[in-house]
Amino acid sequence: MQLSDIQSIKQRFGIIGNSPLLNRAIDVAVQVSPTDLSVLIIGESGVGKENLAQIIHQYSHRKHGTYIAVNCGAIPKGTVDSELFGHEKGSYTDAKSERKGYFEAAEGGTIFLDEVGELPSDVQAKLLRVLEAGEYMRLGSSKVQKSNVRIIAATNLNMAEAINDGRFREDLYYRLNTIPITVPPLRDRKEDITLLFRKFASDFSEKYHRPAVKLTEDAQELLSNYYFPGNIRQLKNITEQISVIEQNRDINAQTLRLYLPNNDVQNLPALYKGKNDSKSFNSEREILYQVLFDMKKDMNDLKQLVHSIITKQNIDLSQLDEKYAFTETNHAEIDTFPFIQKQTSSSIKIPQNDIEDTEEYVEESLSLLDAEKDIIKKALSKHNGKRKYAAEDLHISERTLYRKIKEYGLE
């Protein structure tokens, strides 16, 4: 496809950017649109995956049919089956009448399943049946219904890990992934970041009837090098905040930095990922293991510090247990790597008359529960209470995070 044709498509669908990766994704979307092949759009949250789904629908022979976008992650688990495939009257307690599902409503058109990786396993089996045989049954019915719907799915999950963890069916993945399209994250489209900022600034200028904000050169450089975990959605929010709050419409790097959350990867513990490690951070247990590793390192550092102090003061080591209140239990706790859910603490008492400017009592809590609670609080604070993004940062499921929040009273 010619570059001019791609530019025309971007203008029609309001897509901003000149990144070769973005142009490639649009090109593939247009090429596959005349077919009825299922498409899997892969990309992080906030990259604009639905734009590609709309391009595929509008350039297909189904463009005059119904287009329905479904956020699978936003539907309560117990009602997903009914929402997608419909139900019969009396099929469950609140089913007071029959209801058409999204597949029936989109007959002859296109259905876009966003966050398809969040579907329960029983619904995945039904979706596989639709893809393979073009048929399904309403909840509570024994009548088979035919389906003539183009399915486009999208996910921000690592599907290989989801399959290995048993969260997603491998056969369904290959049926959906007939044509894969990858949408690049914003950090891989650095040349597009300032263009997007200007577009959003112009939009908010009209919305709030104020002059558009502009970035200085140092601010443009800072913005272009920002990681943007929330991608285009995050950039749009940042632009709106600046447009509303700042009186000075020329934004320099110092001002811009106030609106860029700290994305220091050191905020959370990280496990080493070896060459043969095919999974990473699939449960809170791994976070606890890393906390333990950090605790052992801290204890070793503490031992070296105490040894250094003792050496400099020429203290008789044979009197260490008696003079500095080191018990056998203390030594055991320092030299032994603590196991899961074992809460230990160590203390060092140093007389002030022997060493100046040293605190009399040093105590470090080694409670794993406190450490885990603190990590969860930091993740929630970092993402302004948005549990979905906090769970992604902690590399645990939202369900596990909800349980931990309730367990620790963090609601």
CATH topology of domain 189-257: Helicase, Ruva Protein; domain 3 (1.10.8)
Q: What's the angle, vertex CA 284, arms to CA 281 and CA 290, rounded to 5?
A: 70
User: What's the rounded Cα separation, in Å, for the pair 374 and 310?
Assistant: 33
Contact 10, 197 (CB under 8 A): no
Provide CB contacts within 8 A for 232, sequence distance 6+.
46, 47, 48, 186, 196
User: What's the rounded Cα separation, in Å, for the pair 255 and 259?
Assistant: 8
Name the DSSP class of 184: P
Q: Is the whole model's pTM more than 0.95, yes or no?
A: no
Contact 282, 161 (CB under 8 A): yes
User: What's the rounded Cα separation, in Å, for the pair 106 and 112?
Assistant: 10
- Distance set, CA 176 to CA 40, 132, 172, 362 (Å): 6, 10, 6, 58
* Amino acid symbol at 180: P
Name the DSSP class of 339: P
Residuewise pLDDT in 10s, the chain (411 residues): 788 899 999 999 999 999 999 999 999 999 999 999 999 999 999 999 999 999 999 999 999 999 999 999 999 988 899 999 999 888 777 778 888 999 999 999 999 999 999 999 999 999 999 999 999 999 888 899 999 999 999 999 999 999 999 999 999 999 999 999 999 999 999 999 999 999 999 999 999 999 999 999 999 999 999 999 999 999 999 999 999 999 999 999 999 999 998 764 434 444 444 444 444 444 555 666 666 767 777 777 777 776 767 666 665 555 554 444 444 444 444 444 444 444 444 444 444 444 444 444 444 455 667 778 888 888 888 888 888 888 888 888 887 888 888 888 887
Do 189-257 and 3-184 fall under one CATH topology? Answer: no
Provide, for the chain, the percentages of residues in helix, strand and coil under a 3-state DSSP scheme, each rounded to the nearest 5.
50, 10, 35
Contact 86, 107 (CB under 8 A): no
Contact 379, 393 (CB under 8 A): yes
In sequence order, what DSSP letters do the residues of 7-35 get, joined into one string? HHHHHHHT-----HHHHHHHHHHHHHTTS
Contact 405, 411 (CB under 8 A): yes
pLDDT at 363: 47
pLDDT at 93: 76
Domain boundaries defined on the chain = 3-184, 189-257, 266-411
User: What's the rounded Cα separation, in Å, for the pair 50 and 375?
Assistant: 33
Chain centroid to CA 218: 29
Provide CB contacts within 8 A for 374, sequence distance 6+.
none
User: pLDDT by residue (tens digit) across 147-195?
Assistant: 999 999 999 999 999 999 999 999 999 999 999 999 999 999 999 999 9
Element (H, E) at 113: strand 110-114
Phi, psi at 71, each rounded to 5°: -90, 100
Contact 228, 186 (CB under 8 A): yes
Pairing of strands 135-137, 110-114: unpaired
* Amino acid symbol at 275: K
* Amino acid symbol at 122: D
Name the DSSP class of 87: B
Q: Which CATH architecture has domain 3-184?
A: 3-Layer(aba) Sandwich (3.40)
Contact 390, 382 (CB under 8 A): yes
Structure tokens at 133: 């045989």
User: pLDDT by residue (tens digit) across 101-133?
Assistant: 999 999 999 999 999 999 999 999 999 999 999
Provide CB contacts within 8 A for 118, sequence distance 6+.
72, 73
Phi, psi at 12, each rounded to 5°: -65, -40
